[in-house]
Structure 1
């Protein structure tokens, strides 16, 4: 009897042990599942945060170049404008505020009924390079199709980040080319080539770019060798210096949102004279190319199609990329 009782007790003990082990295993499995779920949620949050930060950083790179007022800090905008008008050597293609109009018809000839896109740029500015590489081809297609007038505003404060006055030299070349070559494809092709990812020097890199290298970018765009050779000049350096003082004082060019609200940065874009807030591209989840097409009132399929005109016309405000209004 005692033996059977002992056996029963042992079986009960083993059964209890197995039950305890199974319960413990189940608890461990449930805890592991809970931890995996938490890790998945945390991972998703981290990825989302990284995506947002990358998007914000991308726009920040575009907007990080605050235009310097140089020695004109104590001047009012009207005084800076007056100083600009006093410069002796001015590019003949530039208007009184420094804009060079390029259209389907050439230089200085506006297409009636087409909106005007103004781009303030510096050849050394990495953000300007990003903007050109993302949107330049689209802008060029619209110019050649007569869908927009493009107003170029070269600046040269980016010499701060170079050791060979790259911004000033490149801007002088562009100004000179617009005087000697009226072909919009050549002018816009030169800009595209200067901003090419494998050509534009990085800021503070110490890389020096020769005149011959820059002239090659012009001839690759269709500019004649004669015009390219003549474009190597410092004729408009004083005018550019005055532009660098004047533009940063113009309130219509100030950022309306973001870190640099109330300051001018490059690239700056105006559409029909109205500030185009590139910070909204992040909110809308759009590239600058997509945003420009939307803000002009076009569809992607209409870009570069002659006769398909932007809905905002020559005086309408840009369509908001966030509200569609």
Structure 2
């Protein structure tokens, strides 16, 4: 009994030490786990920071290239060389003009009607400004073309591929070119549907658009299923890329006023080979469609009336909006 009694306190102390050691071990393990978590978080933050830096550098590089491209001197030789490159492309639409446009009239593709104005539009299917413009004027343009009141020359370009994840601008422009060559009667309806608010993708928050979706737009516009499917094969992608490199070098397409004076932006519109300054629309108090009709010299009530022709004819300058 006495021996056992003497051992009791020692066992208690031993138990206390074991508990303390266990607590210390647990605390040490927790400290080590926390240090590991902190190290992991630091590594993740460093990686995120590195990614941010890479993205910023890339954006700055893109912006710098855009500024360089917009402000660098462009010589006649630059434009001529780019033009020759367009001509050298082996696979291109047979009925497109040498600068990348498709003339549509009441009589069909590449059949210009005499004595009426010729309207040109340069577009990018991702461009929000083009979408807004076309949604305003497409109905009037289609009616005037059908009534033989204008010739319309469409220039599909691709400037905004860098803002999509799948070369949307080039794919859409190539599809338009294929439809223009193979089913021109439905080209204008296709363009209108591509720019519809419920279809045109966002430039700033782009979500991928598949070839099948573009095909469905074409079929909805009346394009045959076989032509619609082939339109997204990329037949004219190389040609589109060369035309898109050439168009901005053409001084006749450069803005004549505003912050972008001296460079091309989309949409670009010309009437009878005269640059139509859309910056004047906002100061005119007119909506875009009304402003275009005034520039052509035709009233809205006469749009689509066969035999009633715009006053500027085939060679007149756009009527001033002021």
Normalised TM-score (structure 1): 0.75
SS in 1 for 2:305: coil
Give the match for residue 246 of structure 1: 246
CA distance in 2 between counterparts of 1:128 and 1:206 reads: 16
Shift of 1:311: 0.7
SS in 1 for 2:247: helix
SS in 1 for 2:155: strand
Trace 1:1-325 onto structure 2 (pairs within 5 A).
76-183=78-185, 186-322=186-322
Normalised TM-score (structure 2): 0.76
Checking the alignment, whether the CA contact within 8 Å between 2:74 and 2:249 is kept in structure 1 is no
Shift of 1:164: 1.1
| Range moving further from structure 2, 188-197 or 83-92 | 83-92
- Alignment: residue pair count: 254
SS in 1 for 2:119: strand
Structure 1: tracts of 5 or more residues without a match:
1-65
Shift of 1:93: 2.1
Checking the alignment, whether the CA contact within 8 Å between 1:68 and 1:244 is kept in structure 2 is no
Work out which of the two has the higher radius of gyration on C-alpha atoms and give 1 or 2.
2
CA distance in 2 between counterparts of 1:250 and 1:105 reads: 29
CA distance in 2 between counterparts of 1:124 and 1:257 reads: 24
Query: Pairwise CA RMSD of aligned residues?
Result: 1.9
Q: Which has the higher contact order (CA 8 A, sep 6+)?
A: 1
CA distance in 1 between counterparts of 2:109 and 2:250 reads: 25
Checking the alignment, whether the CA contact within 8 Å between 2:120 and 2:154 is kept in structure 1 is yes
CA distance in 2 between counterparts of 1:98 and 1:288 reads: 25
CA distance in 2 between counterparts of 1:73 and 1:302 reads: 42
SS in 1 for 2:259: coil
SS in 1 for 2:160: helix
Poorly superposed stretches of 4+, deviation over 2 Å:
66-70, 72-75
CA distance in 2 between counterparts of 1:121 and 1:198 reads: 18
CA distance in 2 between counterparts of 1:220 and 1:195 reads: 13
- 259 and 218 in structure 1: CA distance in 2 versus 1, 3 angstrom threshold: same
